[in-house]
Amino acid sequence: MKITFPVRARRRFCPRGFTLIELLVVIAIIAILAGMLLPALGKAKESGKRIACANNMRQLGLAAQMFPDDHDGKFPLYELGVDPGAWPNQLYDYYKNPKVLVCPSDALNPATGGTNPNHVADVSPRSYIINGWNDYFQQEAEKAGRAFNIGELRGKAMLESGIQFPSETVMFGEKVTESPHFYMDFLESSTTSLAGNLFDEVEHGRHARQGNGSGGSNHTFADGSVRYVRFWGALSPVNLWGVTPAWRQNVVN
């Protein structure tokens, strides 16, 4: 006799889906993690841009260091549209690439004051401004017994030997995006202060800014070094844009 055994009914296994609450919990966790990670990623990205900006300014600093060796110990002339052009055009043979003039943290196509198409570097987008050395030339005028006129700066050049503290005197700073100025002029008329371009044209907090009064900007010094200076740190407790003792003590409170 053949014996048969009952066949067990096979269970059907249906995949169990997520409930709405579980999905909401997962989404909430992802949102929390994203909220924690994005600021860190943003800071890392900005840190990279700040370093790239500093490298550009270091190349400009090296160019400015080499320039006096070929020009009787003088930095670039205070000049604009006529030959040899403003400082970007005068230094061009030493850095060779107009892209060096742009900070990656700056807005697209920052303004420049160049008008002569033959001066390629002068008409290129530019994020940086050079010291106009106004206080030095004002002092020289006073020594000669005459009143200083900012218009007489055209065609003049700062002596490398005239800077007493090259490692603590700013050569290049970052300018505000909309500024077309090539030179930081203390004594140019200003709508906000007696310190002229220090407030109207110079950018003091481009990098890692989290609101007014925070962040900082890169600065190239007369010895070719580059440093990140905290917001307002280039103006107080010592005005690092100044050459003469009087202007170095003319600090921001």
User: Which residues are 227's β-sheet partners?
Assistant: 219
Asked if the structure places residue 112 within a domain, the reply is yes
Task: Confirm whether 103 is domain-assigned.
Answer: yes
Rounded Cα distance between 198 and 187, Å, is 10
- Whether 10 is in a domain gets the answer no
Q: What integer pLDDT is reported at residue 204 of this predicted model?
A: 92
What average pLDDT does the segment 24-30 reach? Answer: 82
- pLDDT category at 211 given cuts 50, 70, 90 is very low
**Gap between the Cα atoms of 252 and 5, Å rounded:** 99
Does 93 reside within a domain? yes
Percent of the chain with pLDDT over 70: 82
pLDDT tens digits along 59-102: 999 999 999 999 999 999 999 889 999 999 999 999 999 999 99
In a domain, 119, yes or no: yes
Residues 6+ apart with CB under 8 A from 178: 110, 111
With 0-12 / 13-18 / 19 or more C-beta atoms within 10 angstroms meaning exposed / middle / buried, residue 129 is buried
Model confidence at 116: pLDDT above 70: yes
Number of domains in the chain: 1
| Within a domain: 3 | no
Backbone angles phi, psi at 220, to 5 degrees: -100, 130
Strand partners, 183: 130
* 96 in a structural domain: yes
14 in a structural domain: no
pLDDT tens digits, 151-175: 889 999 999 999 999 999 999 999 9
| Residue ranges making up the domain that contains 106 | 23-248
**Which residue did the predictor score with more confidence, 12 or 110?**
110
The rounded distance, in Å, linking the Cα atoms of 39 and 246 is 43
Compute φ and ψ for 139, nearest 5 degrees.
-65, -40
